[in-house]
Structure 1
C-alpha cells in the first residue's frame, strides 16, 4: 500500500466501519494526513511491469450526478503505458460512441483503476487524476500510444497522474486464462502428440 492510499481511501466513514470490525488499529498506521497537501506516490518497477503486461483493466469515473461509472478498457498486452513513475497512459479506442467515461472526465478528473492478473491471482488498485488528450491537441502523444497492427480506431489518449496505489491480497480472485495463455501452455503437449503420431505412423 502506497503512502497516500490510506489518506484517500480511509475516510472517517470507512474508519468507523473498520472500528466496528476491529481493523482500524491495523490500518491507522497506513492512514496519512498530509495537511491538505496534494502528493503522489511513485510507481515502482513491480507496478510498472505489472501494468504494462495487462490486456485490460477496469476504469471508474465520477459523473455529474455523483454516480460512479465503471468501464472495462482492453487491448493487446502493452497497450497500457507507464510513461514515468507518476504517469500511465493509453490510446482511447473508438467504441459505442456513448463517451461516458471521457465525458465524466470533463467535470471530474478523479479516477480509480483496478488491474487484475487472473492466472497469478494478483490485483493492483490505483487512484489518479485523468485527462483526455485529443489527436488535434497532441498528435505525437496519441500516435506514440497507438498499438501497431491492432484493428482499432484511436480517438484520443487518456493520461493519468497516479496519486496512490495498493496491492490486494489474492483471496477470492478466481484463476482465469485467456485463449492465448491456454494456447501457450498446451503448445508443448500438441508438439509431443505430433511427435508420437509421427513415430507411430513410421512404425
Structure 2
C-alpha cells in the first residue's frame, strides 16, 4: 500500500522549517490525509504517456545523483498499482544509479509533462532483476528491438506518490506534439490551396 507522500517527505527538519515560516498548520493537515492503495488510472495513463523521467539516488558517500532516463513513450511500465519497471539498457557503463541503489535502494522520481504543466513525484525502492531469470517480466518491460542491449530490469516498488503544483512549469513541446497541433492548420492550408487552384481554373 502506498503511503501518504507528505508523511515520507516531511522529516523533523522539514517540519521545523514549516513551523518557523508559518506553513506547518496547513501541511500538518495534508500529512494526515489518507493515502490511496496505489496508482489510479490517472497516474497509470500519465506514466504510460511519458518518454522520460528523472531519478535521484544517493551514493554511499552521501552525495545525491540525479539521472535522466529516456526512451519510447511507455518505456516505464506499470507492473501493478504499486510497482513500476523498465529495462536498464547498455549505456556509458558508469553504473552510478545502479551502484548507488545496491547500498541504498531508496530513490525519488519526477515525471514531467511540460506541455500540460503537470508533474508526478514518486518515492520508491529499487529492486534489480536478472533478465534471464524472469523472461515474462523481460517481455513486458523491454521495448521491441532493444533486447540485445538490455542489461537488467529495474523494478520500482512505490512507497508514496503525489502530484506537484503546476506553478513555474514552463510549457515546452516535442516535435511530435507541435506537429499534432499544426495538423488542423496544415489541413486548412491544403483546402485553401485547392480552392485557389479551382478558382484559377474557372477564370
Q: With structure 1 as the length reference, what TM-score do the two structures score?
A: 0.89
Distance 1:135 1:40, change over 3 A: farther
3-state SS of 1:115 partner: strand
Q: Is 1:109 equivalent to 2:105 in the alignment?
A: yes
Distance 1:68 1:161, change over 3 A: same
For structure 1, the residue ranges without an aligned partner over 5 or more in a row are: 33-38
3-state SS of 1:158 partner: strand
For structure 2, the residue ranges without an aligned partner over 5 or more in a row are: none
Residue 198 of structure 1: aligned partner: 194
Distance in 1 between residues matched to 2:41 and 2:71, nearest whole Å: 22
Render the CA deviation track for 1:10-68: whole Å, top value 9, x for unaligned.
01100111112110011112336xxxxxx995111211111111111100111111111
Distance 1:70 1:192, change over 3 A: same
Render the CA deviation track for 1:79-133: whole Å, top value 9, x for unaligned.
1111111111111122211111111111111010000111110111110111111
Q: With structure 2 as the length reference, what TM-score do the two structures score?
A: 0.89
Distance in 2 between residues matched to 1:103 and 1:154, nearest whole Å: 17
Distance in 2 between residues matched to 1:133 and 1:83, nearest whole Å: 14
Residue 71 of structure 1: aligned partner: 67
Give the count of matched residue pairs: 196
Q: CA deviation at 1:153?
A: 2.4
Larger radius of gyration: 2
Q: CA deviation at 1:191?
A: 2.0
Q: CA deviation at 1:154?
A: 1.7
Q: CA deviation at 1:176?
A: 0.5
Distance in 1 between residues matched to 2:157 and 2:46, nearest whole Å: 17
3-state SS of 2:184 partner: helix
